Amino acid sequence: MSAPSTAPSPSGNPVTGPVVVAVVGPTATGKSDLALDLAQALSPGGAADLRGGAAAEIVNADAFQLYRGMDVGTAKVPVAERRGIVHHQLDVLDPVEDASVARYQTAARGDLDDIAGRGARAVVVGGSGLYVRALLDHMDFPGTDPAVRAHLEDRAEREGRRSLHDELARLDPDAATSIGPHNTRRIVRALEVIELTGRPYTANLPRQEYVRPAVQIGLDCDREVLDARVANRVERMWDGGLVEEVRALASPEQGGTGAGLGTTASRAVGYAELLACWRGELSLDEARGAIVADTRRLARKQMGWFGRDPRVRWLDAGSPTLLDEALAVVRAADTGGLPDPGAGPVRRSLGS
């Protein structure tokens, strides 16, 4: 096996540790199960202990599993079923709080630093594409300045958004082309970032470049099979107390008995539909059907996101040798034996 890799930490100090393994892809493909299997196999004494060191640890990259109490509807692995494997970035927010990708990036990269410092392997798992990118890739989150933004918004009101878009075109032509002249909010944000950073807005956009050595394993699935998996998952959630969970979290104004669900949490599939039910917009049966339909749409969106990343190594979620295939990808990553991104056939059923 190759020597442990070295990469800079968020603080700029080098961190030595094994290649980070990320399990990604659409919902209901079995990512959590594979992550547990990998973490167990890659730990000392595991069936495929590739390097020794401390036990592997899991880092969550699902935006809604960050929330305490949102368990059934997010398919969070119960504590008793985590096989004693340490998990990070679960249950770190109250449902009334709004999630922040920038805050997640800082906290989760800190977890990766700590895991590497223990000589352990990090196994990242989740289907929230932006969170995965924020954790693994070069992605900056420039701050905001209320005074600068207010000034730009006032200019947009007085001079018109076309004037601001022309200014953006002079300062960052690529950003102007991407944003277009009609999206005032994004034009203002781009000009704000340029003023605050002194760099083009596009210089702050994510790059498909890992901040530390990593490999992404994507789980693919035929559309018909995945649709059936989604329906079965929703049935299990329904039987497992999803309605009761949402009612216990939601505020009385939202139709529940708890402290409430904030803007971010209330958008989660399974929660949004039941809140709509309690607002009188859907019957309970209609809400259940909407959850199935919306989960299927989410799966296609996730496949579209991850399918655009040529670095993802796709495996068939239904393969009887899935763990062995995933471990082979990890071995190749550890030894620098992976082909160039995008080389060879790529299987992306949902993205076709």
Q: Give percent above pLDDT 90 in the chain.
A: 82
Domain borders along the chain are 5-138+211-222+307-351, 146-203, 224-302
Residue-wise DSSP of 71-115: -TTTTPPPGGGSTT--EESSS-B-TTSPP-HHHHHHHHHHHHHHH
- Whole-number CA gyration radius for the chain: 22
Instruction: For residue range 63-115, list pLDDT tens digits in order.
Output: 999 999 999 999 999 999 999 999 999 999 999 999 999 999 999 999 999 99
From edge to edge, which strands make up the β-sheet containing 122-125?
87-88, 57-60, 122-125, 20-24, 214-220, 313-316
Q: Is the pLDDT of residue 3 over 60?
A: no
Per the annotation, binding residues for ATP are: 25-32
* Alpha-carbon torsion, ordered 331, 60, 84, 299, to 10 deg: -80
Give the CATH number of domain 5-138+211-222+307-351: 3.40.50.300
Q: Is the pLDDT of residue 247 over 80?
A: yes
Per the annotation, binding residues are: 25-32
What letter represents residue 6's amino acid? T
Pairwise CA distance, residues 281 & 286, whole Å? 9
The answer as to CATH 1.10.20.140 being correct for domain 146-203 is yes
pTM of the entire predicted model: 0.84
The answer as to CATH 1.10.287.890 being correct for domain 224-302 is yes
Per the annotation, binding residues for substrate are: 27-32
